[in-house]
Chain A
């Protein structure tokens, strides 16, 4: 019996079954696209069924090339989503809701649980979705001066 790291793409049927049963699946995101909010090796998230999606939600979705990404929804319009990593300047636009596999229902930082209603979480998310252009500009400038590496 082993506990192992799994590729979501391969295990999508199992993820769907868990979510359909009303369950959640804990995953450990990797990469830097959601810094400083999600840090590889420190944070994990519970994925739940994406019954409703509003700006600020973090969703697991598939790109048109079939890649799975865990990024934040910036805008919802006409059934399509603009989605962007917190550490990215350019959003993935016109993502269909059918491309969304799940959404983050809570975040664990060093095993302390935060749900999306936590005041500090709400304040952080508000700063991004109310001023997406300002946020993009900030990230762009941070990348230009090489701050991303320090955030790692």
Chain B
């Protein structure tokens, strides 16, 4: 699972903002602001990882319990799926 290459995370005035470039911008309207955790998820997904890998990585980084992290990760991934931002080869 990976973020499509047309979507870019940029930092502007201390804000994490996702923009759609090229062809993706014709179907994706506007921009998305991410908080720090959202940006962490995004950067991990940019490199490509599974849901379980992302949950483990987040638990290690933020020292949080699995239930809380799992809920946040699944919610984040679901939102990206709805927006058509994810590339999910092999699923």
Instruction: Name A's B-contacting residues (CB within 8 A).
Output: 1-4, 6, 10-11, 13-14, 17-18, 21-26
Q: How far is the CB of A42 from chain B (nearest CB, A)?
A: 16
Contact status A21-B26, CB under 8 Å = no
Q: List 9 A-B contacts (CB under 8 A).
A: A1-B35, A3-B33, A11-B12, A11-B31, A13-B12, A17-B21, A18-B21, A23-B21, A23-B26
Give the residues in chain B near A2, CB-CB below 8 Å.
32-33
Nearest-neighbor residue (CB-CB) of B10 within chain A: A14
CA gap between A14 and B20 in the complex, in Å: 10
CA gap between A1 and B34 in the complex, in Å: 5
Give the residues in chain A near B10, CB-CB below 8 Å.
13-14, 17
Contact status B31-A23, CB under 8 Å = no
CA gap between A1 and B10 in the complex, in Å: 14
Q: How far is the CB of B53 from chain A (nearest CB, A)?
A: 20
Q: How far is the CB of B4 from chain A (nearest CB, A)?
A: 13
Nearest-neighbor residue (CB-CB) of B76 within chain A: A1
Contact status B19-A4, CB under 8 Å = no
Give the residues in chain A near B19, CB-CB below 8 Å.
14, 17-18
B1-23 CB contacts (< 8 Å) to partner A: 6, 8, 10, 12-13, 17, 19-23
CA gap between A13 and B8 in the complex, in Å: 13
Please count the residue pairs between chain A and chain B whose beta carbons lie under 8 angstroms apart in the complex: 56
CA gap between A23 and B26 in the complex, in Å: 7
Q: How far is the CB of A109 from chain B (nearest CB, A)?
A: 15
Q: How far is the CB of A145 from chain B (nearest CB, A)?
A: 38
Give the residues in chain A near B32, CB-CB below 8 Å.
1-3
CA gap between A11 and B10 in the complex, in Å: 11
Contact status B33-A18, CB under 8 Å = no
CA gap between A22 and B32 in the complex, in Å: 19
Contact status A21-B21, CB under 8 Å = yes
CA gap between A56 and B23 in the complex, in Å: 26
Add 11 more A-B contacts to A1-B79, A10-B12, A23-B20 (CB < 8 A): A1-B76, A2-B32, A3-B32, A6-B31, A13-B10, A14-B10, A14-B12, A14-B17, A14-B19, A23-B21, A23-B26
Nearest-neighbor residue (CB-CB) of A44 within chain B: B29
